[in-house]
Chain A
Amino acid sequence: MFELLGIPPQALYAQLMLGLVNGAFYAVLSLGLAVIFGLLNVINFTHGAQYMMGAFAGYILLTYFGVPYWGALVLAPIIVGAVGIVIERTMLRHLYHLDHLYGLLLTFGLVLVIEGLFRQQYGVSGRPFPNPLPGGQNLGFMFLPNYRLWVIVASVVVCFATWYLIEQTRLGSYLRAAVERPDLVQAFGINVPVMVTLTYGFGVALAGFAGVLAAPIQVVSPMMGMNIIIVVFAVVVIGGMGSILGAIITGYFLGLVEGLTRVFYPEASSTVIFVIMAIVLLIRPQGLFGKAK
Chain B
Amino acid sequence: MVSRKLLYGLSAIALMSATSAHAIDVKIGVLTDMSGLYADLSGQGSVWAAEQAVADFGAEEKGMNVEIVSADHQNRPDVGSTVVRQWFDEDDVDAVADVPTSSVALAVNELTRDRNKAFLVSGAATAALTGAQCSPNTVHWTYDTWSLANGTGRAIVETGGDTWFFLTADYAFGHALEADTTAVVEEFGGEVLGSVSHPFPGTDFSSFILQAQGSGAQIIGLANAGGDTVNAVNTAAEFGIVQAGQNLAALLMFITDVHAIGLQNSQGLIFTEAWYWDQNDANREFAAEFETVFGGNKPTMVQAGVYSSVIHYLKAVEQVGSAEDGAAVVAAMKEIPTEDKLFGEGMVREDGRKIHDMYLFEVKSPEESTGPWDYYTQRAVIPADGAFRPLEEGGCEFVASAN
B is a partner of A? yes
Interfacial residues, chain A to chain B (CB-CB below 8 A): 11, 14-15, 18-19, 21-22, 119, 123-128, 130-131, 135-136, 142-143, 145, 147-148, 217-219, 221, 223-224, 227-228, 259, 262-263, 266-267, 269-271
Taking A125-B260, A135-B240, A145-B238 as known contacts, 15 extra A-B pairs with beta carbons closer than 8 A to each other, sorted by chain A number, are: A11-B214, A119-B35, A125-B41, A128-B260, A128-B264, A128-B265, A131-B237, A131-B238, A147-B238, A148-B206, A218-B231, A219-B231, A219-B260, A262-B207, A262-B211
Nearest-Cβ distance from residue B137 to partner chain A, whole angstroms: 30
B210 interface residue, CB < 8 Å from A?
yes
11 contacts between A and B (CB under 8 A): A11-B211, A119-B35, A123-B39, A123-B40, A128-B265, A130-B264, A135-B240, A143-B240, A218-B203, A267-B197, A269-B207
Chain B window 304-335, contacts with chain A (Cβ cutoff 8 Å), 1 for yes, 0 for no? 00000000000000000000000000000000
CB pair B208–A262 under 8 Å, yes or no, is yes
Q: Verify B37–A124 contact, CB threshold 8 A.
A: yes
Residue contact A125 to B257, C-beta cutoff 8 Å: yes
- Pair A119/B39 contact, Cβ less than 8 Å: yes
List of B residues within 8 angstroms of A11 by Cβ: 210-211, 214
Looking at the complex, which one of A123, A128, A145, A269 makes contact with B239 (CB distance below 8 Å)? A145
Residue of B nearest to A142 (CB): B210
Contact B206 A18 (CB under 8 A): yes
Would you call B210 and A269 a contact (CB within 8 A)?
no
Contacts of A18 in B (CB 8 A): 204, 206-207, 210
Question: Which A residues are CB-close (under 8 A) to B39?
Answer: 119, 123-124
One of A128, A130, A227 near B203 (C-beta < 8 A): A227
Q: Name the A residues within 8 Å of B365 (CB-CB).
A: none
B227 touches A269 (CB 8 A): no
Instruction: Given A119-B35, A126-B260, A218-B203, decide whether A266 and B208 contact each other with a Cβ distance below 8 A.
Output: yes
Taking CB atoms, residues of chain A closer than 8 Å to B264 are 128, 130
The 7 closest A-B pairs by CB, nearest first: A128-B262, A270-B199, A125-B260, A262-B207, A125-B40, A124-B39, A123-B40
Which B residues touch A270, using CB under 8 A? 199, 202
Residues of A within 8 A of B198 (CB): 266, 269
Q: How far is the CB of B248 from chain A (nearest CB, A)?
A: 16
Q: How far is the CA of A144 from the CA of B153 in the complex (A)?
A: 30
B230 near A: Cβ within 8 Å?
A: yes
Chain B residues with CB under 8 Å of A269's CB are 198-199, 207
Tell whether B36 is near chain A: CB-to-CB under 8 Å: yes
Least CB distance, B390 to chain A, in whole angstroms: 33
- The answer to whether A266 and B196 touch across the interface, beta carbons within 8 angstroms, is yes
Cα of A126 to Cα of B233 in the assembled complex, Å: 13
Partner among A15, A145, A228 whose Cβ is within 8 Å of the Cβ of B207: A15
Task: Please measure, in the bound complex, the distance between the C-alpha atom of A147 and the C-alpha atom of B206, giving whole angstroms.
Answer: 12
> B191 contacts the other chain (Cβ, under 8 Å)?
no
Given contacts A11-B210, A266-B197, contact A124 B35 (CB under 8 A): yes
Check B210 against A15 for contact (C-beta < 8 Å): yes
A217 and B211 contact, CB distance less than 8 A? no
Given known pairs A145-B239, A227-B201, the reply for A217 and B227 (CB within 8 Å) is no
Query: A217: which B residues are within 8 A, CB to CB?
Result: 206, 234-235, 238
User: CB < 8 Å: which of B36, B43, B234 contacts A219?
Assistant: B234
Complex Cα–Cα for A11 and B204 (A): 17
CA distance A271 to B202 in the complex (A): 12
Does B226 count as interface, using CB distance less than 8 angstroms? Answer: yes
CB distance from B287 to the nearest CB of A (A): 16
Contact at A263–B211, with CB atoms within 8 Å? yes
Chain A's nearest CB lies how many Å from the CB of B254? Answer: 9
Per-position contact with A for B24-39: 1 when CB-CB < 8 Å, else 0? 0000000000011111
Q: Are B239 and A136 in contact (CB under 8 A)?
A: yes
- CB contacts under 8 Å to A, within B1-58, are 35-41, 43
Q: Name the distance in Å between B369's Cβ and chain A's nearest Cβ.
A: 14
B 46-103 contacts with A by CB, 8 A: none
Cβ-defined contact, A125 with B226, below 8 A: yes
- Bound Cα distance A128, B265 (Å): 9
Q: How many angstroms from the CA of A274 to the CA of B39 in the assembled complex?
A: 28
Determine how close the nearest CB of chain B comes to the CB of A24; give it in whole angstroms: 11
Q: Is B259 an interface residue (CB 8 A)?
A: yes
Contacts of A22 in B (CB 8 A): 204
For the complex, is B261 an interface residue (Cβ under 8 Å from A)? yes
Asked whether, in the complex, the Cβ of A219 is within 8 Å of the Cβ of B208, the reply is no
When distances are taken between beta carbons in the complex, the residues of chain A under 8 Å from B214 are 11, 14
Contact A21 B36 (CB under 8 A): no
Bound Cα distance from A228 to B207, whole angstroms? 17
Collect the chain B residues with CB atoms within 8 Å of residue A266's CB: 196-199, 207-208, 211
Q: How far is the CA of A137 from the CA of B353 in the complex (A)?
A: 50
Q: A143-B240, A223-B227 are in contact. Are A128 and B261 (CB under 8 A)?
A: yes
Q: Which residue of A lies closest to B237 (CB)?
A: A131
Given B230, B235, B240, which contacts A126 in the complex, CB threshold below 8 Å? B230
- Measured between C-beta atoms, what is the minimum distance from B173 to chain A in Å? 15
Q: Give residues 253-276 of B contacting A (CB, 8 Å).
A: 256-257, 259-262, 264-265
- B227 to chain A minimum Cβ distance, whole angstroms, is 7
Q: Which residues of A contact B207 (CB under 8 A)?
A: 15, 18-19, 259, 262-263, 266, 269
A144 vs B197: C-alpha distance in the bound complex, in angstroms?
Answer: 23
Cβ–Cβ contact A267 & B238, under 8 A = no
* Shortest Cβ gap from B363 to chain A (Å): 13
Whether a CB of chain A sits under 8 angstroms from the CB of B297 is yes
What's the Cα separation between A81 and B391 when bound, in Å? 60
Q: How far is the CB of B107 from chain A (nearest CB, A)?
A: 21
Report the separation of the CA atoms of residues A148 and B211 in the bound assembly, to the nearest whole angstrom: 17
* B170 is an interface residue with CB less than 8 A from chain A: yes
Q: Which of A15, A21, A125 has the most CB of B within 10 A?
A: A125
